[in-house]
Chains A and B, each alone.
Chain A
Amino acid sequence: MQPEADLLHKPGETMPFGNTHNQLKLKYSSEQEYPDLSKHNNHMAKILTPAMYERLRTKETPSGFTLDDVIQTGIDNPGHPFIMTVGCVAGDEETYEVFKELLDPVIEDRHGGYKPSDKHKTDLNPSNLKGGDDLDSNYVLSSRVRTGRSVRGFCLPPHCSRGERRAVEKLSIEALASLSGDLNGKYYALKNMTDAEQQQLIDDHFLFDKPVSPLLLASGMGRDWPDARGIWHNDSKTFLVWVNEEDHLRVISMQKGGNMKEVFNRFCTGLTKIETLFKERNHAFMWNEHLGYVLTCPSNLGTGLRAGVHVKLPNMSKNAKFEDVLKKLRLQKRGTGGVDTAAVGGVFDISNADRLGFSEVELVQMVVDGVKLLVEMEKKLEKGQSIDDIMPAQK
């Protein structure tokens, strides 16, 4: 299949089909259709120009995703008070190729200068992680690693139809049902959960609900809710998979305390098993050697991995050097409610800032080493000691 279709050619010439609505829009000049981004502050708005819009607006992916589809969320959401949003999404694997003129600079801007020619490393071998089993549980309350995966052959959540979403769910249920041992578990479809099941999942902090964030809704990810969405978790509640939320799959390994090594072990083992099962069914995960794992949001390309801890840093977080230390360690802070929340009671969610250009092992290593250092600094500050002599170099 051709990676893209040029709608300036007549149907039947270079491509088998056209996009009616997009063709109608071409009757209006580029200036007439160009979005007003004057009040916007997101990655898409920084990159898109009228000239680029004109060049890309005649294109579509094989499944019919267009430039306006890619950027709609960034137009509808000018900015966010806490975070620099990406402002664009992929509707399928080919989006990253067809609209590379926009997405390559967005990726470069978002992922620290990652170039179109760069190669991404994947390393899901947990024995390559050094240490990580001894973070002080007086400070480190919980440890968690998550990532996303897209299933090749289907469109992504902003664009997929009900038929596709249900097919992704069916494959996922099959794959997950064949896990065993520590990974033996159960799938709960959102649409026919019993009240008791729902309550339990809420109490476990596992249940995801229909997105309310306009960032997600504006890109169409809430359509047909709760059809074909569900949650799978293992009996010990340490391995969790979300089906058809913001990505086809979100995979989470977690537990109380500071044994990140164990969390990462389970993460890698589980993911590798799941990937094998999908491959057997001729629906491997979307991956390429430039972008690594292909996900809906450009911010999650590469590893799609966020490894983090909930850690008590009441003194450190008030220290003037806190932000600088995080930056040097290539870490980021969030509130314990997730990406757009504030910290409560001095407890922070500290995780890797990078996704692309580093492997999974490298990113988790940064978290392990960085958190270890942050806890040391916290202890020093508790004792009224200075932390100047243990300031890290830029990683």
Chain B
Amino acid sequence: MPFGNTHNNFKLNYKVEDEFPDLSKHNNHMAKVLTKELYGKIRDRQTPSGYTLDDVIQTGVDNPGHPFIMTVGCVAGDEESYEVFKELLDPVISDRHGGYKPTDKHKTDMNFENLKGGDDLDPNYVLSSRVRTGRSIKGFTLPPHNSRGERRAIEKLSVEALTSLDGEFKGKYYPLKSMTDAEQEQLINDHFLFDKPVSPLLTCAGMARDWPDGRGIMHNDNKTFLVWVNEEDHLRVISMQKGGNMREVFKRFCVGLQKIEEIFKKHNHGFMWNEHLGYILTCPSNLGTGLRGGVHVKLPKLSTHPKFDEILTRLRLQKRGTGGVDTASVGGVFDISNADRLGSSEVEQVQLVVDGVKLMVELEKKLEKGEAIDSLIPAQK
């Protein structure tokens, strides 16, 4: 290669045994895959932007495990990380994404018309519906690694793209660093405001550097379409509304994203995507669609039923508390969303949510009436 990485070359003066992290108390995907031999084999590599193996794994070294979730323990610093460090990341991806092989191809389907139904989830149970994903912008390194110059360039492009949207997507961009107190208060009340990450999973990967420089929030006037700029990914795109009309949420999601993508493409900065990994994001867990489609739904009886977790597994769904990824549920209200990200399309994943939630509400109603649900327990999807 034409250039060296000073600090990484310096570390090569130490033997593999001396540099290999102690993962004996660790329980994350990276720790399960990384061996001393593998470390020795790939530690002298770097991506074109200078991202190294130690950079990839630092968050997993610093965070041995999590009480509620099996963490990934590694991140990408740029698009090339997934290629340069494939000996580590392919097995991590396979482990995390249900056996997805290095030769597999991922399907992208953002045509909302392919979704069947989804406009009639019972709002007595389904309190709100939401679809989110992330997008990375080609030509820039990712949040663990990007410089202030890159982050600001991403923000500038994003602001251009987002403020040119019209119709139901017409909205305003609020940079975190120059928000007025009134704006901040409003965004907090709307539950839109994201704050500097406190989770060590993110801070150890360097994603909070230079906060709040280059970070901001855009939302449309109706407050149903929201974009976060430069948080854990270059862009996080969220469509949401109260009630159970997931179909409408997904339509807005697809239409909005496609409009945004066109504008970025015009500037020669399309989204990072390839036919093997789909959309490229910072965390390997979000590859593929990067999509989490979910509802807040009242399931006080079903959630205490002994077969609840099994039903979720069969429906390929996952539960979270209403505070997000590492919270517990409150008052029998659960966040139910698709478990998969890679290997199935956007439409397929949202379909699983729509069909699965519909079934679970049926089961809840039966349990309310004291009826058995055994005959309705689904087969493995």
A interface with B by C-beta (< 8 Å):
5, 11, 16-25, 28-29, 32-36, 60, 62-65, 68, 72, 75-76, 155, 159, 161-164, 166-167, 191, 217-218, 222-225, 227
Contact = CB atoms under 8 A, between A and B. Distances in A.
A76 B149 contact: no
Contact of B4 (A18, A162, A191, A227): A18
B148 interface: yes
B49 A162 contact: no
Nearest to A228: B22
Nearest to A155: B10
29 contacts: A11-B2, A11-B4, A16-B4, A17-B6, A18-B3, A18-B6, A20-B3, A20-B50, A21-B50, A24-B49, A32-B153, A33-B149, A34-B148, A62-B10, A64-B6, A64-B8, A64-B9, A65-B7, A75-B209, A76-B210, A161-B14, A162-B21, A166-B18, A191-B22, A222-B204, A223-B58, A223-B204, A225-B62, A227-B22
B3 A35 contact: no
B62 A224 contact: yes
A141 to B, nearest CB: 36
Nearest to A22: B50
B3 A224 contact: no
B261 interface: no
A35 B211 CA distance: 10
B213 A28 contact: no
Contact of B18 (A33, A163, A222): A163
A163 B10 CA distance: 11
B89 interface: no
B220 interface: no
Most chain A beta-carbon contacts within 10 A, residue among B11, B13, B145, B213: B11
A76 B197 CA distance: 12
Nearest to A31: B149
Contacts of B49: 20-21, 24
A162 B177 CA distance: 36
B210 A75 contact: yes
A163 B14 contact: yes
Nearest to A159: B7
B18 A162 contact: yes
A98 to B, nearest CB: 12
Interface in B145-192: 145, 147-150, 152-153, 177
A25 B149 contact: yes
The range of chain B's interface size is: 35 or more
A60 B3 CA distance: 15
Contacts of B7: 19, 63-65, 159
A38 to B, nearest CB: 9
A223 B62 contact: yes
A320 B336 CA distance: 61
Contacts of B141: 24
B149 A29 contact: yes
A224 B23 CA distance: 10
B4 A217 contact: no
A168 B321 CA distance: 44
Contacts of A16: 4
B348 to A, nearest CB: 38
A381 B147 CA distance: 57
A25 B18 contact: no
A380 to B, nearest CB: 49
A17 B22 contact: no
B209 A76 contact: yes
A269 B102 CA distance: 62
A76 B211 contact: yes
A162 B19 contact: yes
Nearest to B156: A32
Contact of B50 (A24, A29, A163): A24
Interface string B352-368: 00000000000000000
A162 B53 CA distance: 13
Nearest to A16: B4
B46 interface: yes
Contacts of B22: 191, 227
B61 interface: yes
B6 A5 contact: yes
B9 A17 contact: yes
B6 A63 contact: yes
A35 B213 CA distance: 8
Contacts of A35: 148, 210, 213
Interface string B223-235: 0000000000000
Interface in B1-60: 2-11, 13-15, 18-22, 46, 48-51, 54, 58
Contacts of B329: none
A225 B210 CA distance: 23
B203 interface: yes
B110 interface: no
Contacts of B15: 163
B208 interface: yes
Contacts of A164: 14
Nearest to A20: B50
Contacts of A167: 14, 18
Given A5-B6, A76-B211, A217-B203, A21 B18 contact: no
A24 B146 CA distance: 10
Contacts of B3: 11, 18, 20, 23
Contact of A28 (B5, B20, B46, B149): B149
Nearest to B49: A24
Contacts of A75: 209-210
A33 B6 contact: no
A28 B49 CA distance: 13
Contacts of B48: 20, 24
A109 B50 CA distance: 35
**3 cross-chain pairs, A with B, having the tightest CB-CB distances, nearest first:** A28-B149, A163-B14, A20-B50
Contacts of B6: 5, 17-19, 60, 62-64
B208 A76 contact: yes
A108 to B, nearest CB: 27
Contact of A161 (B19, B46, B177, B211): B19
A162 B20 CA distance: 8
Contacts of B9: 17, 64
Contact of A224 (B2, B4, B61, B150): B61
A240 B227 CA distance: 52
A30 to B, nearest CB: 9
Nearest to B210: A75
A163 B203 CA distance: 23
Interface string B116-155: 0000000000000000000000000100010111101100
A161 B54 contact: yes
A33 B21 contact: no
Nearest to B211: A76
A35 B21 CA distance: 33
B213 A36 contact: yes
A20 B209 contact: no
